[in-house]
Structure 1
Amino acid sequence: MGDRRSPGPPAHPANPPPERQRRWPALGVGLVAAFMTLLDVSIVNVAVPSMERALGATPSDLQWVLSGYALTFGLVLVPAGRFGDAHGRRTAFVVGIALFTITSAAAGLAPSPGWLVAARLLQGAAAGVVNPQVTGLIQELFQGPERARPFGILGATIGISTAVGPLLGGVLIHLGGVEHGWRWVFFVNVPVGVLAVVLGWRLLPHRPAGRADHRRLDPVGVLLLGTGVLLVLLPLVQEHWRDPAKWLLVPAGLIALGAFAAWERRYARRQEPLFDLRLLGVRSYGLGALIALVYFGGFTAIFFIFTLYLQNGLGYSALVAGLAITPFALGSAAASAVGGRIVNRYGRPLVAIGLLTVVVGLLAVVLAVGRVPAGVPVPWWTAAPLLLAGLGSGLVIAPNQTLTLAQVPVGQAGSGAGMLQTGQRIGAAAGIAAVGTVFFSSLAASGGDWSIAFRRSLLLASGVIALALIAALADIVRR
């Protein structure tokens, strides 16, 4: 027994397994891919006026360019996560990134609105294939408390990619010109995507350790979940449908989701289901998923209405509109770096502090916009409260992601992360629809006063985020 090693060396063995040696480079590739796919949720907002002029797109076309991406993104998240759990994340990741790269190039080359819409739908589906593989990769390569750091970085990536999208889009349009700059919003993905395909194939593990790759993918569950998500999201993302009967699709979608839940319970008696509903009974997962759904309902809508206010209402360029949101992105980046490190120490109260800070920051933006002195640029007046809101957001997304997925088994990491992100996409679509409706109705009722429309809709977004704060506080009180 004299050659028995001391407790220290196993953490850093002389010849660690290849997966452990490559886990941080592999995660780096995954984070770049996640950033790129999530960036495309918001980067297109500032390019809408250019697309409209260049392609002669109708308002309905533009709505599908913006929200069709989110629709197909949300549809494939859970099935793609399940596929990665069953057959290995490398295959799903590489195929998803390759498709995302091809469709990005196709969108940039679009000669007509129909072409662009089709490319965006496929691009969103590809993004939905990629993202659950990144979260599953963290579950697979990191254990226990050491997951806090990579989850923190992933949460920062999610928050920053959404916030920095308008800025990057504005820069690309400025450099490429008003007529063709919008094409570079899509072309910029191509070289990054090619590199991610090569490095992903080299660095990502082929399949989860110790798991067979022959599990069934539950086609009935896939169909019911896809139908339910489609029916719920469709009337939310297609705002230009004026027929009130479209809202009947929402209860129909909820019925389909109820059927999905019943089927999954039955299927779980014989096979491993598409999504194990018992995860919702895990307190950290169920509450975290609820907070994420509600928070994204308010969070994502902020950039939508702020961009409209600055560009269409005040006449600022796409570049200035993007720069105006930069304080939020900077605050989110700084707080995410801290939040990822301290979440294991403070837990859910840290998320509650972040939510409260976001609400206070957004209310300060409402007050600031209503008191901008004559001749003072609005972006200067909103910079400080947006920075505060960004700091709060950094303490929400990254820590909540860590807490939500901490107790999810490795074999369910992809499907669990997929369901979490599906909730985020549903929340984002619902929030943009609700907040956008208040924005445009207030604009009409006020006789075209963009400031009033922005402030009223931002109050609604703040109220939605306050609901997430109430959920977090209720959990803290129960504990």
Structure 2
Amino acid sequence: MAESTGERDASSSGPGPSDPRRWRALAVCLVAGFMTLLDVSIVNVALPSIKAGLHTPESDLQWVLSGYALAFGLVLIPGGRLGDARGRRAVFMAGLALFTLSSAACGAARSSTWLVIARLVQGAAGGLLSPQISALIQQMFSGRERGRAFGMFGTVVGISTAVGPLLGGLLIEVAGAQEGWRWVFYVNLPIGLVCLLLARRLLPDTPSATRVRPRDLDPVGVLLLGAGVLALLLPFVQAQQWPGNGKWLLLPVALALLTVFTLWEARCTGRRVQPVLDLALFRLRSFWLGCLMILLYFAGFTSIFFITTLFFQSGLHYSALEAGLAITPFAVGAGASAGIGGKLVHRFGRPLIAVGLTMVATGLGLTALAAHLVPGRGAGLAMAAPLLLAGLGSGLVIAPNQTLTLAEVPVPNAGSAGGSLQTSQRVGSAIGIAAVGSVFFAQLGEDSWADAYDHGLIVSVAFVVAGLVIALADVVAGRRGRGHEDRAPAPEPTRRTP
């Protein structure tokens, strides 16, 4: 049913399954998505340069990193819902324009406060733009082509996160350590402007979109969800900056707010106000299991770049460029396998993701072993092959999971569903960085950098293994469901009356 709805929506306005422009439209989406996701990790290697250039205190440096992720995560679900209601092309272009302008403001920053505020706006713009991409893929493609398109999007997600340190290191190497950090943001300007022009020409509008009033967009639900996600993420993103255990009291507050949000959304169903999140989506096993699995995976996946960059730059005294090059094997592996994963997902389903998760866990375990066995600056070379294996596995996780998680979602709900899936990724990233970072810094005081790195990677592997357990549970449940269908008695043939 979702497929047929998608075909009707896509064909009624703009590039659809029969229009060759859909691939050019996809290219615009992927470039914009690459730019927003790149800014999650590219700033990691620029922090020493920012600190030197703006005399930034440690607390503000933390907000340069975590403020972007926090604002990004807060806007994803409301941004997806807004695109479903008002039109995905319009919301995509608004988010892209705001992202480009805020990137210019980041590059022009004259104080750390200026930079933090600009990063918050930039993160919110990325959260507005990002869910439109998965929704537009749902709208423009169907069947195996949809799996291929999500495979390309998965390549972008994997590569943008992994290649960020390398591109940041290159820009700082070319522009100089004092002012090079500004070009980490300025590089978005020409890309954003070109994408804006092409988006206006190529992206389809949303046939189901109508002119709606702000009160029709469930403002109470947006506030409850925003407050709940903020209370959930804040203690994790500020784990290193807020001493003591008082910050964890925000977690029961988050649980209470999200419970009230769920009750409110259930009350909105069937009324004139459209809920910001259709709770019926969570009755789909493929959807809620996919969200849970990717939350755990991103907790392990993104945290490795955080501690690996620290290990290379502060522990082994690599330059920003050297640190970026050392992490590149992961990006190469993810890019090589993501397209393959997108093509194979319709054939193998969730078992393909289980294989990918096993490869990631094995690769990260071998990475920790290499860092432990090879001391000094040679560790980066020793870690290349294990990181490549982990990257190859990652390409079989992100894109196929995106395809399977959204497969049964009706196209009119694609924006809010894609926002929910990406919110799971951002929540997982925040939890993983906080947990892995806490173990890493705790060991750093008493052992060497390599030992601290080993302990941090063990926690990352634990998150990936937890995601593997969820994927295997889905495989088993799916096989049991098919077994029950096979054993069900066939309906009796209708007897003809003479």
What's the TM-score bracket when you normalise by the shorter of the two chains? Answer: over 0.9
Q: Answer yes or no: is the 8 Å Cα contact 1:359–1:462 preserved in 2.
A: yes
* Structure 2 match to 1:296: 298
> Shift in Å at residue 258 of structure 1?
1.0
* Structure 2 match to 1:157: 156
1:32-69 CA distances to partner (integer Å, 9 max, x unpaired)? Answer: 00000000000000001111111111110000000000
* Structure 2 match to 1:325: 327
Question: Aligned partners of 1:145 and 1:370: how far apart in 2?
Answer: 43
- Which of 367, 370, 381 pairs up with 2:369? 367
* Structure 1 match to 2:234: 234
1:373/1:455 CA distance change after superposition, 3 Å: closer
Q: What is the DSSP-based 3-state SS (H/G/I as helix, E as strand, rest coil) of the residue aligned with 1:240?
A: coil
* Structure 2 match to 1:462: 461
* Structure 2 match to 1:451: 450
1:160-309 alignment runs, 5 A limit: 160-206=159-205, 208-214=206-212, 216-238=216-238, 239-271=240-272, 272-309=274-311
Q: What is the DSSP-based 3-state SS (H/G/I as helix, E as strand, rest coil) of the residue aligned with 1:297?
A: helix
> Shift in Å at residue 19 of structure 1?
2.1
Question: Aligned partners of 1:18 and 1:264: how far apart in 2?
Answer: 32
> Shift in Å at residue 280 of structure 1?
1.2
Q: TM-score, normalised by structure 1?
A: 0.94
Partner amino acid, structure 2, of 1:218: D
Tell me whether 186-195 or 141-150 shows the greater mean CA deviation.
141-150
Residue 313, structure 1, aligned to residue 312, structure 2: no
Q: Answer yes or no: is the 8 Å Cα contact 2:14–2:202 preserved in 1.
A: no
Q: Answer yes or no: is the 8 Å Cα contact 2:334–2:393 preserved in 1.
A: yes
- Which of 15, 19, 28 pairs up with 1:19? 15
Tell me whether 243-252 or 31-40 shows the greater mean CA deviation.
243-252
Question: Aligned partners of 1:131 and 1:211: how far apart in 2?
Answer: 18
Partner amino acid, structure 1, of 2:476: V
1:315-356 CA distances to partner (integer Å, 9 max, x unpaired)? Answer: 000000000011000000011011010100000000000000
Question: Aligned partners of 1:352 and 1:74: how far apart in 2?
Answer: 26
> Shift in Å at residue 373 of structure 1?
5.5
- Which of 334, 337, 345 pairs up with 1:335? 337
> Shift in Å at residue 389 of structure 1?
0.3
Q: Answer yes or no: is the 8 Å Cα contact 2:372–2:450 preserved in 1.
A: yes
Residue 440, structure 1, aligned to residue 409, structure 2: no
Question: Aligned partners of 1:212 and 1:75: how far apart in 2?
Answer: 24
Question: Aligned partners of 2:176 and 2:432: how far apart in 1?
Answer: 32
> Shift in Å at residue 145 of structure 1?
3.3
Q: Answer yes or no: is the 8 Å Cα contact 2:14–2:203 preserved in 1.
A: no
Question: Aligned partners of 1:401 and 1:156: how far apart in 2?
Answer: 11
Residue 345, structure 1, aligned to residue 381, structure 2: no
Question: Aligned partners of 2:371 and 2:142: how far apart in 1?
Answer: 46
* Structure 2 match to 1:398: 399
Q: Answer yes or no: is the 8 Å Cα contact 1:88–1:205 preserved in 2.
A: no
Partner amino acid, structure 2, of 1:224: L
Question: Aligned partners of 2:48 and 2:156: how far apart in 1?
Answer: 27
* Structure 2 match to 1:3: none
Partner amino acid, structure 2, of 1:185: V
Q: Answer yes or no: is the 8 Å Cα contact 1:358–1:389 preserved in 2.
A: yes
Partner amino acid, structure 2, of 1:416: A
1:427/1:179 CA distance change after superposition, 3 Å: same
Partner amino acid, structure 1, of 2:223: L
Q: What is the DSSP-based 3-state SS (H/G/I as helix, E as strand, rest coil) of the residue aligned with 2:217?
A: coil
1:157-182 CA distances to partner (integer Å, 9 max, x unpaired)? Answer: 11110000011001111011110111
**Percentage of matched positions with identical amino acids:** 57
* Structure 2 match to 1:52: 51
Question: Aligned partners of 1:173 and 1:142: how far apart in 2?
Answer: 39
* Structure 1 match to 2:487: none
Q: What is the DSSP-based 3-state SS (H/G/I as helix, E as strand, rest coil) of the residue aligned with 1:19?
A: coil
> Shift in Å at residue 205 of structure 1?
1.7
Partner amino acid, structure 1, of 2:472: L
Partner amino acid, structure 2, of 1:425: R
Q: Answer yes or no: is the 8 Å Cα contact 2:311–2:453 preserved in 1.
A: yes
Question: Aligned partners of 2:465 and 2:194: how far apart in 1?
Answer: 41
Question: Aligned partners of 1:267 and 1:67: how far apart in 2?
Answer: 33
* Structure 1 match to 2:127: 128
1:62-116 CA distances to partner (integer Å, 9 max, x unpaired)? Answer: 0000000000000111111111101111110111111100110110111110000
* Structure 2 match to 1:421: 422
1:410-461 CA distances to partner (integer Å, 9 max, x unpaired)? Answer: 1000000001111110110011011001110010132xx1011001001100
Tell me whether 268-277 or 107-116 shows the greater mean CA deviation.
268-277
* Structure 2 match to 1:383: 384
Q: What is the DSSP-based 3-state SS (H/G/I as helix, E as strand, rest coil) of the residue aligned with 1:370?
A: helix
Question: Aligned partners of 1:98 and 1:336: how far apart in 2?
Answer: 29
Partner amino acid, structure 1, of 2:250: L
Q: Answer yes or no: is the 8 Å Cα contact 2:169–2:323 preserved in 1.
A: yes
Question: Aligned partners of 2:115 and 2:131: how far apart in 1?
Answer: 25
Partner amino acid, structure 2, of 1:228: G
Question: Aligned partners of 2:175 and 2:97: how far apart in 1?
Answer: 25
Question: Aligned partners of 2:53 and 2:14: how far apart in 1?
Answer: 50
> Shift in Å at residue 18 of structure 1?
4.7
Tell me whether 51-60 or 263-272 shows the greater mean CA deviation.
263-272
Q: Answer yes or no: is the 8 Å Cα contact 1:88–1:213 preserved in 2.
A: no
Partner amino acid, structure 2, of 1:155: G
Question: Aligned partners of 1:259 and 1:149: how far apart in 2?
Answer: 39
Q: What is the DSSP-based 3-state SS (H/G/I as helix, E as strand, rest coil) of the residue aligned with 2:437?
A: helix
Question: Aligned pair count?
Answer: 462
Question: Aligned partners of 2:299 and 2:291: how far apart in 1?
Answer: 12
Question: Aligned partners of 1:237 and 1:290: how far apart in 2?
Answer: 20
Question: Aligned partners of 2:47 and 2:208: how far apart in 1?
Answer: 48
1:232/1:16 CA distance change after superposition, 3 Å: closer
